[in-house]
Amino acid sequence: MRLTTFTDYSLRVLIYLGTHAERRAQVGEIAQAYQISRNHLMKVILFLATEGYVVTTRGKGGGVQLNVNPERVRVGEVVRKSEDGSALVECFTQGASDCRIERVCVLRGAFEKAEQAFYAVLDTYTLADLVVNRPALLRALGRAKTGL
C-alpha cells in the first residue's frame, strides 16, 4: 500500500504542530522545515482545518496550530480521511472496475483484510505517540530549516 503525498504531508503538518504545540506556526516555516511546496501545504492545512484538527489565523501574528489534544488524534482516522476515495485496488471502487474476474476473485478478500489490519494498527497510534521524541524532532526540524 502506498499513501498519497497529501496524506504524508497531512501527517507531517500534524507532527510539526504537535512538536511546536506551544505556539502558532507559519505555513512558510513548516514548508521550509520539510522542504515541501508552500502551495501544496496550503491545501493540506485547509483540509486539516476543515476536519477540525487545526485552526488557522490570518494576518499579523497569524498562523496555524493544533485545535485538538494530540492524544485524541488517531493516526488511522487522519489517514482514512485524507485517503478518502483512494482505493487500494481497482475493484474496491464501486462501478469503476474493469477486472474480468472481480466477482469470483479471492484476492479481493485478502486485500480487504490487509487494509483492515493496516488501519487497525494505525488506530493504535495517536499524534501524541508520534511526538513523544519531541527534542529529537525539534533538532531534526531545526537542521532542515538551517540546511545543516
DSSP single-letter state for residue 13: H
Confidence category of residue 148, pLDDT binned at 50, 70, 90: very low
CA atoms within 13 A on the CB side of 13: 37
User: For residue 146, what pLDDT is reported?
Assistant: 45
Q: How many domains does the chain have?
A: 1
Domain extent at residue 42: 5-146
CA distance 41 to 63: 13
Please name the residue that has the C-alpha cell 526540524: 141
pLDDT digits (tens, 9 = 90+) for 33-63: 999 999 999 999 999 999 999 999 998 888 9
DSSP single-letter state for residue 38: H
User: For residue 92, what pLDDT is reported?
Assistant: 64
Look up the CATH number of the domain holding residue 126.
1.10.10.10
Element (H, E) at 66: strand 63-66
Q: What is the pTM of this model?
A: 0.86
Q: What are the Cα distances from residue 119, in Å, to 72, 115, 137, 139?
A: 16, 6, 25, 30
